[in-house]
Structure formats: structure tokens, C-alpha cells
Amino acid sequence: MNKRKYILTIAILVLTFNFIFIAVPPVYAEEDGPIFDDFWIEMEPGVSLYTRFYLPGSGTYPVILTRTPYGIDGPGIEPTWPSEILHGYAFVEQDTRGRYSSGGVDRLFYDDGPDGYKTIDWIASQPWCNGKIGISGGSATGITTYLAAGENHPNLVAALSYVASANLYNDITFDGGAYRADSMIWSYGQTVGGLSLSHMLSVAPGADWVGNLTKIGSNLYDLYAHTSLYPGYRAVDSTTWMNLPLIGGDPSFSLMQPFGDEILSHPSQDAFRDEINVQDTIDIPMLHVGGWFDFFSRGTLDAYAKLQDKGNQKFFMAPGTHGVLGALPYDPYYDWFDFWLKGEDTGIMDEPSFSYYCFGAEEWRWADQWPLENIKYTKYYLHDDGVLNTRRGSRGARFESYVYNPSDPVLTLGGRNLGLPAGSLDQRPVEAGRGDILFYTTDILEEDMEISGPVKAKLSVSSNCTDTDFTAKLIDVYPDGSAMLVLDNILRARYRESMSDPVLMKPGKIYDITINLGDISYVFKAGHRIQIDISSSNFPKYDRNLNTGGNLYTETKADINMALNKIHHHGKHRSYVVLPVIPPEKNVFEGCANIKISGLEYKGPAEFHIYDNAVYLHFEDQWIKWEIQYHKSFWHIDYYRCYGELGKLTVTKINTKWGTYLTAAGRRISFKAKV
């Protein structure tokens, strides 16, 4: 290599890996102002993680930690003071293992639980820490938040995670047993963007780093250029999307980030994948934030559902995709940490535990649990004439069939995606002219119908292959014909019984399978129709099943089989979708409250919420909660005896043919409503 090329290569590496290590002395503001310093915290011999901390002054403080693979300001860079120090917190941020200025090898979150614990241990030993530590982050930093919370360090008091998963490999990476191929956009991008020098010297010490990173960057561009971000896209025209096999299929990526192939070598749930499942181990208060059309929607909801019975869990489910913060009714960050780390009564724990946005109603709603307690799970049957209704019987053909060709998959358009356009998008462009999608549609709805909760498609299926995929979409058909996606998902047939113990199909045999489409709160409006699409591909959101029954992710183009797949809907083999229909009976009452207690006087409009275990009075920005101690129903009357911080409350709800009357009375507190 000539001198000029050598200097250019070094310059590119400096820019790419940010590994100029310049010591920065501690920064002290005048007159006991903010303090900044940085350290490398040792995780194990030879592996230290770059960490920066910021203090409001020279005292002791509660601490908020963020651990990120996206890079913090590196050594030698002057501090940018975070807002946390203005709120009386010490703030600590850290590059995760193998990223940017940290040592070690990046193993795609696999080490973030133990590393998070050791980092919290270090923080707790510092003289500026008062012993109370919180952790927070969103997306990848939300994943590191969950993983650190799962270690249950005694000084970790509370956590807040935005749009992330506590069971990453099982819930997200292999959703429905299929690989989330759209995550390749993130994998390629983060590989180019921030692997540390330590990582590169460990996994590829003699490699042409610049050449390999350039190749990965070219592949990343090819992925982006063949998503629906661009008019007239076709993922099947992309060399990178269509590349096979998936394991080792991109030599540059395999060289620079070998752990990607390690993950793909575990297509079935096993101890390796369970290692970073912390849904059952977290035992601290957590606030979870998700978006209905976010890539992590299922993972965030699953974490809350697993933890809600432990108490002190809160959830906000926003209408957005991955950037949900701006869609929340308010930013709960400081309310949450001020309550748990400072002991301030911010009111956040007086609110119902689950706050969610309802599409169609276009409003925020509240509940004490998820799924909701008043769901009427309703079966909508698939019929051979393309009809979808609640009638169980079926006439005519016993099944409908289609041919699934992995070389010409149904393309992804909308949904809960990463890197691909997300949200409720019109499906007509991907439905048009295809013979491998089955459509089932209801009559026009005569009145609004709300669903809030989990949606599942239970199908009776068969195939001429030993393995194939089945996909389902829930669609809202507007009066103008727009087919707007609500939910979608997939099931790889070999995982129909268990995600850990795959069983191949016998060609021609009928099997019952369940596709978990996920959760939603959505109102199908009068004049609309409900549609279910059934097929066997949704690409590039999910990788293509080659229909061979062979070893997943090692197969090549030469192995591709065509599959003749059938959906059965006759006799004992019926196919249907289960919708979580919400009855019209209200549990939220709008009326007038009158409060005259010490420190609080209010008279005016208010809402009264009744849930299974508690009642709430909501007015302006305040919530008052009472636990239900006794509930009795007789004739058309519901009677509740409740108790809270403001004492006893008696609630009476009377249903008559003229409407529903509700009264609540306590010491200097009253509420009246009529519906």
C-alpha cells in the first residue's frame, strides 16, 4: 500500500469508528455548577465500556442511566449538558459493548443484561449517587433498558422503555417462526455506523475493512431502493433482498458482524434465544411506551402483559409508528422518575395503568388491564364464496386453494415495520392481479364496531409440501374501496405446535393453526366492511419459506419448491378470525363533580371510570383513585363500596329504560351523570 492510500484508509477508519482516544479532564463549572467526567468501566479483563456522567453539582443525586449502541459523544468531545441535570438528576450514558468508543465485541444485545448490571453497580459505588438509580431508553436503548432491568440490581429502582422488546429474539426477530427480514436494514445500517475498533480487531483483524464496509453500504442502499419508499418498487428486483442463503449469504456482513449468522443459526426457540428474554424476571416498576404500528408493538405489549400482575406497571400505547413520543398525551418521563427516584407525588400512579389510543374514535382511553375485561370474543368465519360473517355453517366447496411461489412473493405494504413504510396503508397495490391471495369480506356494517385487544386467525390448512407459511391480514374496506391495513402476521407451519419443537407437515393432511395478528384498538365505521386476506408471503417484512422442509436459512435458490396451499372451511375443518369486540355498554361516564377538601376545591365537568378493581374520578389533569372493596349487582342496580386516599366512596349505577344514572358520594366529594 502506498503512503497516500495508507493515510486515506486511516482517515476513513477514524471517521467510521470514532476511535481517537484523547483524555478529557473533568469539567467543573464555576461556583459549584454542573460537573462532567468520563471513564472506561471494566466489564471483564480486557473489556471496558466508555461512559460519560453529568452532575448538577457537587452533592449526591438520584441517577438516570442510558446505554446505547448508537454512540455517545466520544473522548475528547466537549460535553453537551443533558436536561436531566436541570431536574436534579445525575445522568450517565454509555456506549454498549463493541460500539463506538467501547471495548469488546458487539453481539447484538446478547451481553447487555450483565453489562447493564455491572454499570449500575459502578454507579451505585460513586460518591455522587444517592443509591437510587433509574434507567431509560427507546428502540435499541429501550432493549438495553429491559435487559438491565431483568438483572434486578438492588439499586435499580425504576425503568422507562420506549418502543422496545423484553423478548427480542422470540417476539420480534422470529415473529411467528419466520425471520423478520426487514431487520436487515437496521443490521446493515448499524454495522456500517458504529462497530468499535476493538470489535473490528477481534473479529476481522486482517480484513479489508474499508472494502467490506463499502460493500455493506452498497447492499444497504439496494435494500432501501427496493422498498415502497420509492414509487414502482419491487423487492423481488433487489439482489440483496432476494439473496440466498441467508446464513453467510453476504460475506462482508458475516465477516464484520458474525453474530448475525449466529442468531440465524437458531431458527427454533432454545436456550440461546431465551437468554435475552427477561419478561418473567423483571421485578421493578416500569413504564412501557409503544406504538400500535411500531415494529416492537407486540414485544412492548407482551412485556406489560407479563408484568402487570406484579404491580407498579404503566403503559402508553400511541397511534404512531416508531417515533411515538410526539403522539403521547403528555411526556411521562419526569413524572415517572420524580415519583420513583425522588418520592414526589406527581399523580402518575393515580392514573389507570393502561392508556391507549383508539383508532376510529380518534381518542385516548384508559383501562386497568390489558386485554380489557369486557371483551366479547367473536368468531368471523371464512366461507368459500369469499364471505366473512358470524354464521358457522358453510355451503359449496370444502376448501379454496392457491399456489405460493417463493420467487414471486406478495410484497409488504404497511404494517408494524422497521425500515419499511409502516402504518395503515392501502393494500390494493399489492393485491391487484394476484392469484395467491384469498379474500373474505363482510357485508357493509350498519353501525360502528369497536375491537380492542388481541386478534387471532384460526385456520384449517393443508399443503402439498412439508413446510410452508400462512399469512393473514385484517383490513378495513372504506366506501371508496380503499383497503386499509389494520393488522397482519405470519405462521411458519412447522412451528404450528411449538416455537421450540418444529414438526413438519404431511402433504395433504389438514392441520389447525393459529396466526397471532397482534393487538389493536380500532373502530370499524358504519358503511365500511371488514376483510381478511389469506396468503403465504409478506415480503420483505418476513423471509420467504422455500417450502422444502429443510434447514432454515441455509437453503439456496436451487432448493425452491412451489406450494399448493389450501384453506378449509367445511364440516369440522373451519377457518375463522377471532375479533375482540367491545360491547356498547360504557364504563366511562361524563358528568359533574363537586369536590371540597383540604387543598383541593373543584366544581365542574368530570369523567368517572369504573374498572374491575378500581374506580377513578378524572377532571382537568387530575386523577383520583379508589380501590373497589365490595361490588354487588341486583336487578338493574350495581353497587360499589370503594376506598382510597381520600377515604370511602359509595358508587351506585342504575340502568333504566330512560338511561343509566350514576352517582358517587364520599366525604365532601360527589359525582353525578346520566347516559
Pair (565, 607) in one structural domain: no
Beta bridge partners of 378: 579
Residues 249 and 316 in one domain: no
User: d(Cα 448, Cα 78) in Å, to the nearest integer?
Assistant: 57
- Helix runs in 395-453, H state only: 428-431
pLDDT at res. 215 = 96
Task: Flag whether 371 is in a domain.
Answer: no
Residues 134 and 158 in one domain: yes
Is residue 97 within 8 Å of residue 194, measured between CB atoms?
A: no
Do 597 and 565 belong together in one domain? no
Among 581, 602, 622, where does a domain finish? 581
How far apart are the C-alpha atoms of 121 and 123, rounded to whole Å? 5
For residue 334, report the phi and psi dihedrals to the nearest 5 degrees.
-80, -30
What's the CATH number where 346 sits?
3.40.50.1820
* pLDDT reported for residue 193: 82
The gap between the terminal CA atoms of the chain, to the nearest Å, is 82
Residue 366 lies in a domain: no
Task: Give per-residue pLDDT as tens, 226-273.
Answer: 988 777 789 999 999 999 999 999 999 999 999 999 999 999 999 999
For residue 18, give its domain range: 3-172+275-358
pLDDT at 598: 85
CA 284 to CA 305: how far, in whole Å?
14
Residue 126 maps to a domain: yes
**Residue 10, C-beta contacts closer than 8 angstroms, at least 6 positions apart:** none
CATH of residue 427's domain is 2.60.120.260
- Predicted confidence at residue 320, as pLDDT, reads 87
My answer on whether 533 and 410 are in the same domain is yes
Within a domain: residue 669?
yes
DSSP assignments along 218-234, one per residue: HHHHHHHHTSTTSTT--
**Grid coordinates standing for 400?**
379454496
Residue 148, in any domain of the structure: yes
Q: Same domain for 592 and 571?
A: no
Question: Do 258 and 292 reside in the same domain of the chain?
Answer: no
Both 429 and 571 in one domain: the answer is yes
Q: Are residues 124 and 166 in the same domain?
A: yes
Cell numbers 417484512 correspond to 541
Q: Which residue has the cell 393459529?
A: 514
Contact status, residue 365 vs residue 522, Cβ threshold 8 Å: no
Answer yes or no: do 144 and 99 share one domain. yes
Q: How far is CA 167 from CA 205, 254, 348, 386, 482, in A?
A: 32, 24, 26, 37, 35
Instruction: Compute the distance between CA of residue 5 and CA of residue 36 in angstroms, rounded to an integer.
Output: 38
> Which of the residues in the chain have pLDDT under 70?
1-31, 394-396
Helix pair 183-194, 209-225: axis angle to 10 deg: 150
**C-alpha distances in Å from residue 43, one per residue of 38, 54, 381, 654:** 16, 21, 56, 63
Which residues does 481 contact at the CB level (< 8 Å), separation at least 6?
428
In a domain, 597, yes or no: yes
Question: Cα separation of 178 and 489, whole Å?
Answer: 10
**Domain annotation covers residue 52:** yes
Burial of 248 (0-12, 13-18, 19+ CB in 10 A): middle
**Domain containing 630 — which CATH number?**
2.40.128
439 plus 567 within the same structural domain: yes
Give the number of domains in the chain: 4
- For the entire predicted model, the pTM comes to 0.92
Question: Is the CB of residue 199 less than 8 Å from the CB of residue 258?
Answer: no
Question: Pick from 242, 266, 290: which residue ends a domain?
Answer: 266
Single residue among 214, 236, 266 that ends a domain in this structure: 266
In a domain, 444, yes or no: yes
pLDDT at 557: 96
**Amino acid 96: pLDDT:** 98
Asked if 162 and 231 sit in the same domain, the reply is no
Q: How does strand 511-524 pair with strand 47-55? A: unpaired
Q: What is the pLDDT of residue 396?
A: 67
Strand pairing category for 376-382 and 576-581: antiparallel
Residues 672, 86: Cα–Cα separation, whole Å: 43
Closest CA to 603 of 668, 675, 674: 668
